Amino acid sequence: MKKIERATLVEVVTNRLRERIAGGAWPVGTRIPSEHELAATLEVSRVSVRAAVHGLVEVGLLAARQGDGTYVAARDATEVAIRRRLAEAPRGDAREVRGGLDLIAAGLAATRRTDADLAMLRDALARRRAAAGEVPDEAAFVAADVDFHLGVARAARNELLFELYATFTEALADSVRASGCLAAAGAGGEDRHEVLAVAIEAGDPLAATEAALTILGSVPGV
């Protein structure tokens, strides 16, 4: 039997890892198993695993955090390309594109949302309110805010729209941190995110779109 060349084995391991990422076994943001664990699971050497992981880090699908492990950064090469293009684009251009997706997602979510989607939105809003309480927690607030917007995009039940919107998560998080949303939420008053959630739950696409437009217009970058 012809011996399998190491380079070929690395390609096989790389493809196996790509399949797990693309298939959702390891969602974006998840830390992947250690080299030792992967080598044991795939029945290959740690050298082959290290080379495969390094290659996926190079193309942007994985991100290595020194002292903390390796995390999934994107599901596929297309997402990586879009993220890099967004990083290069003027901030105003990216905000306009995301704003357009927000409006479309809100209208579609009002007509397509499921009970599970509504529960997810309510959970994100509850975490957002808690983080803006007496002892504000910016990290938790930003995470909940981003989860809410992603939840609206997911409720639109349009896979392409959601995948495109998901590429804006880092930019969205940055804009929430920079826009003073936490201070505004802590000051009380009408929460426009709550208004949007109510419109989606009521199945009113016009009201949902108007609420999304109000969010975009009232707080720059959100």
DSSP state of 30: P
Cβ(47)–Cβ(13) below 8 Å: no
User: What is the residue-level pLDDT of the chain in tens, covering all 222 positions?
Assistant: 455 555 588 999 999 999 999 888 998 888 999 999 999 999 999 999 999 999 999 888 899 988 889 999 888 877 777 777 777 778 778 788 889 999 999 999 999 999 999 999 999 999 999 998 888 899 999 999 999 999 999 999 998 899 889 888 877 888 788 777 787 776 665 588 999 999 999 999 999 999 999 988 765 544
The residue among 168, 175, 104 whose CA lies nearest residue 142 is: 175
End of a domain among 23, 47, 75? Answer: 75
Residues 83 and 63 in one domain: no
Question: Would you say residue 45 lies in a domain?
Answer: yes
Identify the helix (H) or strand (E) that includes residue 80: helix 77-88
Strand partners, 64: 70
Residues 94 and 71 in one domain: no
CATH of the domain at 188: 1.20.120.530
Collapse the DSSP code of 33 into the 3-class scheme (helix H, G, I; strand E, B; otherwise coil) and give the result. coil
Residues 90 and 148 in one domain: yes
Q: Is the overall model pTM greater than 0.75, yes or no?
A: no
CATH of the domain at 20: 1.10.10.10
Total domains present in the chain: 2
Structural domain boundaries enclosing 63: 6-75
